[in-house]
Structure formats: C-alpha cells, structure tokens
Amino acid sequence: MKERLVQLEVLRYNPDTDTEAHFQRYEVMCQEEWVVLDALNKIKADIDPTLNYRWSCHMAVCGSCGMMINGEPKLSCHAFLRAYEGVIRVEPLAHFPVERDLVTAPDDFMEKLKRVKPYIIPKEKKPISEGEYKQTPAQLMKFRQYSMCINCMLCYAACPEYGLTPDFIGPAALTLAHRYNQDSRDGGRKERQEVVATHEGVWECTFVGACSEVCPAHVDPASALQQMKITSSIDWIVEHLIPGGKS
C-alpha cells in the first residue's frame, strides 16, 4: 500500500495552562487513501496522546469531526489527504469557543436549535387509535433535503454573519425550522416565526451563501433561508397592507 509522509500543523490550546493557542507541527506516515482524521488518530496513537479532537462515525454521518482544514470548514473524516499539498493546517471550527485543542463548545448552537422548535407540532392532535399522520411522497419531497442535516456546524463556521453577530440563529437551526414548516403534518409555523422572522432570525442573513457551499450533506441552508425571507415578507404584507389581513 502506498504511503506518504504528511505534515500537519495543529492548533493546540490547553485551558488549564494556556492563555493563547499555538500551532504544533507533526510529521506522520500515512496511507495514500487516508483522511485527515486518520492522520490525527495516528498522531494520537503514536506521537502525542495529549491531542484532543472529537469524532465518532468516521463516515460523514455523526457530524462531530468538523474542523478548519487549511481554513475551510470540513468533516475531517471526509477530507482526503491526497487533496492537499504541503503542510496541512488543522484548526478548531471557526466562530465557536475553543474548549481544548480541536474541541469546540457547541452550547450556543444547541440552545439555538431548541429555540426553533425542531419537532412536529401537529395541526390537530389526534388519539393514537386514529392511526398515524400520513404523508405522500410529494409532501415528503417538499422538505426531505432540509431533513438531511447532521448538525456538524460547518455552516456556522463558514458564515461570516454568525462570526460577527453571534446572536444570529444561524443556517442549520433556521433550516430545520423551515424543514418542519414545510412538513404537511406540522402546524407550528406561527410559533416558530417568533424566532425565525426577526433580526436574529432570517433577517440577519445577507445571503453570502457560504453555508451551502461547505455543507457536507447538501442541505443548502441558503435556499431555506431565502425561502423563509419571502414567506415572512408575505406575512408582513398581508398583516400590514391588506385590510382585514391576518398573518
């Protein structure tokens, strides 16, 4: 099997002793088909057991291994070494507090996810005896793409609005609100609008579009946010400009 020597420059931060982060250079023999996460695992196993980072599935499903790789938000289990030349710079996800080395604190994202009520709020509650809430394939397709999010937060690391205005609810959480709004079984849009149609909601988005470019699950958060801007504008027009109109 073909091997090659890979150089990684990894951001290190120890909350117990450091006031600043610094880069540490590692040289590690890797197999040609490895990803950045494999290289980090090899470093941790053979060179430096103090290196910290998160991962779980190694197959772009769990969403826990997001990092900045040469400045770009990536799943490290999905970033093939062969795509990079020279020293590979690995940093924790941008725009999140660094807990230790490559581990960031996702608390803010988790809190924002909760605020958009990312679950079905049925139009009318019915007893279990009446059976399931049915949906046609066409109704499913209306939101399917937006249900593919793996909560990896790469879109938050790519979004300059979130970096500059941390109050912004942000791409993934707002997209999830859209996913439930678009669901034929759901009746919770009005409740979600209290978070969505605000300055911290979709109106903080200036359509940079970086979220959609970096999303590993092809969710296209930018499209969801633009669609919500249109529906929120229509709500406003109906409410304010049409006599007797209610949103």
Partner 1 sequence: MSRNPLIREVPPTSWYFRHPRYLRYMSREITSIFIGAYCVLLVVGLQRLSAGPAAWEGFLAALKSPASVVFQFLCLVAAVYHAATWFNATQKAMPIQIGEDFVPGNLISGAHYAAWAVLSVVVLFVAGVF
Binder of ligand FES out of 12, 44, 52, 61 (CB under 6 A): 61
Q: Which is nearer to ligand SF4, 55 or 133 (CB)?
A: 55
By DSSP bridging, strand 3-12 and strand 88-92 are parallel
Q: Are 54 and 65 in contact (CB under 8 A)?
A: yes
Q: Is 101 exposed, middle or buried (0-12, 13-18, 19+ CB in 10 A)?
A: buried
Contacts to ligand SF4 from residues 215-244, by CB under 6 A: 215, 217, 219, 221
Binding mask 168-207 for ligand SF4 (x = CB under 6 A): ---xx--x--------------------------------
CA torsion, ordered 90, 54, 73, 87, to nearest 10 deg: 20
Task: Give the closest residue to 54 by CA, choosing from 66, 44, 45.
Answer: 66
- Site map for partner 1, 107-146, x if CB under 8 A? ------------------------------xx--xx----
56 binds ligand FES, rule: CB under 6 A: yes
| Residue numbers 142-171 binding ligand SF4 by CB under 6 A | 149-155, 171
Q: Which of 98, 7, 108, 6 is nearest to 52 (CA)?
A: 98
Nearer to partner 1, 95 or 179 (CB): 95
Half-sphere exposure of 163 (CA within 13 A, CB side): 12
* Interface ranges with ligand FES (CB under 6 A): 55-58, 60-65, 75, 77
